[in-house]
Amino acid sequence: MKKRLAKIFAAPWYFAAFAIYPPLALIAYNSAEMRPAEGMRALLLSLLAALVLFGLLRLAFGSKQRAALTVSLWLLLFYSYGHACNLVSKQWDVPHLAAWMGGLWLVLAGAATGWLARRRTRVRKAAPALNLVALGLVVTSAAQVIIWTAPYSGSVADDHADVQTLTVPAGETPPDIYYIIVDSYGRSDLLQRSFKIDNTEFIQNLEEMGFYVAECSQSNYNRTEVSLASSLNMDYLQNLDDAYQPPSIGRGRLWDSISHSAVRADLEGAGYKTVAFATGFPWTEITDADAFLAPSPLWSQMTSFETLLLRTTPLRHLEDTGSINLDEIDGQRFRQRTELIFDNMDDLAQMPGPKFVFIHILPPHPPFVYAPDGSWTDPAAFLNDDRLYTGASYTKGYRNQVAYINGQLEAALQTLLDESPTPPVIIVQGDHGPWLQNGSGKFMILNAYHLPGHNDLLYPAISPVNTFRLVLDTYLGGDYPLLDDISYYSPTPDIYNFSLVPNPCLDR
């Protein structure tokens, strides 16, 4: 056994592991923002390129050991380039940084290749140690991905979620239920104070359609996946599962609790079908819904992960030459998913029911890709040199997209109301407040309800945790008493380390 292991580790396969590691490490680092599958194409292409280079260099050098070491050094230089550029640019203002860094990296690559091509001493002894290092890096990153995103197998993800047997009252037609999340859409008073947005006309239009707008509503949590896991399971996370306690930072079960929620289980048990849309964010994509609508995939279209990985390499300078606009590639996918939702409102209204439709609309959340009239904007124009939003640029982009979304929402909601055979239940809700806010501003949300015949049950400070408690009790005979409306803040990455946040609106 020892001899077999020694033979395996003497072979120079470490270059292949080093080719896998950079994409895999980036997947692990961004596990909270993506599905691992989004990075598989880049990982496989990296591995394939390394294998091709290894084959060519083995022929050129007549040595697989030298070929493996050369490929590994090239990979190190290739994938470290972007990080080195970022580090230098943050420390010093270097004119023509791309030329200097590109020249330095070429010199390093050439020197290493020449040294290995001419070197007479054997490099075989390096293989076991390099194999061990490469294997350790890959295993560590793979473990991180598994810990963060491992799914939970079960009809309802959370151990303590309250699933009930619901029934439609005799002689009544169950209403379609639309749960429309408008990401980071703030409450009117916050929009006026922080963004100088007068949202009076939009709110009045909602009220004229028959909506009740909760004027003191706050989200229960300050980030999307935590907020939705709570609202779709009708309870606070602290009560739903022991996994949602510090020091845990894993999100696999959390994400699963959104796609396999108590609300979905209740409604499907009562004969509802589930309809959902692609969002680009794994935690809000219910891919196993009865109907899951997504833009047609294009193999040629880069994923968000691939644009991120590209920026860690010398290929980032394709942007500088105008050969490619990575932000616009991301923005185009963002637009496709947004417009798919609004383009399908007629079909949704006429789709046979009863149905539970979960819609996550990303704007006004960045990237900022829409002007107020719906024309396209360049998302890169709102980012500074460090690829961050300033207060001014975020405000401009947010104002643009609120104006655009308001018009789209009004038309979409009117379509649902006009074309649905039975008056539908519609909830239009922010999952949390806008970015760059302090204190309770992170939680102030739009929260509007169309509950046919029952708007009188609503109240100004109703929060998302009580949304479906009220809906299911009212229309399907549920027994879900209302909870206290409470807001909890948690930092990144300690997303389960909760602290209370007051609702100052209640003190007016």
Residue 461, domain member (yes or no)? yes
Domain interval for residue 50: 2-149
For residues 76 and 14, is the Cβ–Cβ distance under 8 A?
Answer: no
The pLDDT score that the predictor gives to residue 160 is: 64
Q: What's the confidence (pLDDT) of residue 158?
A: 58
How many percent of the chain have pLDDT more than 90? 61
Is 166 among the domain residues?
Answer: no
Are residues 225 and 145 both part of a single domain?
no
The per-residue DSSP string of 106-119 comes to HHHHHHHHHHHHH-
Is the pLDDT at 466 greater than 80? The verdict is yes
267 by DSSP, 3-state: which? helix
pLDDT tens digits along 308-333: 899 899 988 888 777 788 888 888 88
For residues 10 and 102, state if they share a domain: yes
Summarised one tens digit per residue, pLDDT across range 105-119 is: 889 888 888 887 776
pLDDT 10s digits, 5-57: 767 777 889 999 999 999 999 999 887 677 788 889 999 999 999 999 999 99
Look up residue 373 and give its amino acid.
D
- Identify the residue with better confidence: 52 or 97: 52
pLDDT band at 507 (very low <50, low <70, confident <90, very high): low
**How, if at all, do strands 273-277 and 447-450 pair?**
unpaired
Q: What is the DSSP string of 364-421?
A: TSSS--B-TTS-B--GGGG--TTS---HHHHHHHHHHHHHHHHHHHHHHHHHHHHH-S
Mark whether 84 and 186 lie in a shared domain: no
Instruction: Give CA–CA dist 200/93, Å, rounded.
Output: 46
Contact 307, 326 (CB under 8 A): yes
Same domain flag for 224 and 119: no
Q: Which residues of 247-259 are buried (b: 16+ CB within 10 A; e: fewer)?
A: ebebbbbbbbbbb
Residue 61 lies in a domain: yes
Q: How confident is the model at residue 508 (pLDDT cuts 50, 70, 90)?
A: low
- Do 126 and 183 fall within a single domain? no
Chosen domain end from 134, 149, 164: 149
CA distance 155 to 160: 13
Q: How many domains does the chain have?
A: 2
pLDDT for 90 beyond 90: no
Give the rounded percent of residues in the chain with a pLDDT score beyond 70.
94
Asked whether residue 162 is assigned to any structural domain, the reply reads no
Is the per-residue pLDDT at 278 higher than 70?
yes
- Any domain includes 169: no
Last residue in a domain, options 149, 164, 197: 149
Residue after which a domain boundary falls, among 133, 149, 165: 149
What's the pLDDT score for residue 102?
Answer: 82
pLDDT band at residue 85, thresholds of 50, 70 and 90?
confident
Residue 314 φ/ψ, nearest 5 degrees: -60, -20
Judged by average pLDDT, the poorest of 34-43, 211-220, 365-374, 486-495 is 34-43
Window from 36-50, 96-110, 277-291 with minimum mean pLDDT:
96-110
* Dist CA 174 CA 105 (whole Å): 66
Task: Using DSSP, state whether 284 is helix, strand or coil.
Answer: helix
pLDDT band at 419 (very low <50, low <70, confident <90, very high): very high
228-250 residue pLDDT tens: 999 999 999 999 888 888 888 77
Residue 172 pLDDT greater than 90, yes or no: no
pLDDT at residue 150 in the model = 62
Q: pLDDT grade, residue 298 (50/70/90)?
A: low
Instruction: Examine the domain organization and report whether 82 and 208 are in the same domain.
Output: no
Amino acid present at 234:
M
Q: What whole-number distance in Å separates Cα of residue 336 and Cα of residue 17?
A: 36
Taking the model in full, what pTM does it have? 0.83
Integer CA distances (angstroms), 216 to 310, 403, 504, in order: 44, 22, 9
Asked if the structure places residue 423 within a domain, the reply is yes
Q: What string of DSSP letters covers 36-90?
A: GGGGHHHHHHHHHHHHHHHHHHHHHHS-HHHHHHHHHHHHHHHHHHHHHHHHHHH
Secondary structure (H, E, C), 455-504: HHHCCCCCCHHHHHHHHHHHHHCCCCCCCCCCEEECCCCCCCCCEEECCH
Whole-number pLDDT of residue 348: 94
Mean pLDDT of the residues in the chain: 89
* pLDDT at position 307: 87
The CATH number that applies at residue 309 is 3.40.720.10
Identify whether residues 18 and 131 lie together within a single domain: yes
The mean pLDDT of 62-72, rounded to a whole number, is: 90
Residue 385, classified by CB atoms within 10 Å of its CB into exposed (0-12), middle (13-18) or buried (19+), is exposed
The helix/strand/coil state of 292 is: strand
Whether residue 210 sits in one domain with residue 336: yes
* Residue 90 sits in the same domain as residue 218: no
Instruction: Give the Cα-Cα-Cα angle 363, 151, 499 (nearest 5 degrees).
Output: 60
What are residue 427's DSSP bridge partners?
A: 179, 449
Same domain for 194 and 113, yes or no, is no
Tracing tokens 């007051």 back to the chain, one arrives at 502
Domain contains 163 = no
- Mean pLDDT score, 120-144: 85
Whether residues 405 and 442 fall in one domain? yes
By residue count, the chain amounts to: 508
Query: Residues near 108 by Cβ (< 8 Å), separated by ≥ 6?
Result: 77
How much is the pLDDT for 252?
78
Cis peptide before 367 (omega within 30 of 0): yes
**Residues 141, 182 within the same domain:** no
Residue 30 and residue 22 in contact, taking contact as beta carbons nearer than 8 Å: no
* Banded pLDDT at 185 (limits 50, 70, 90): very high
CB atoms within 10 A of CB 301: 13
What local confidence, expressed as pLDDT, does residue 169 receive? 75
Residue 164 covered by a domain = no
pLDDT at 248: 80
**What are the structure tokens assigned to 53, written together?**
């280079």
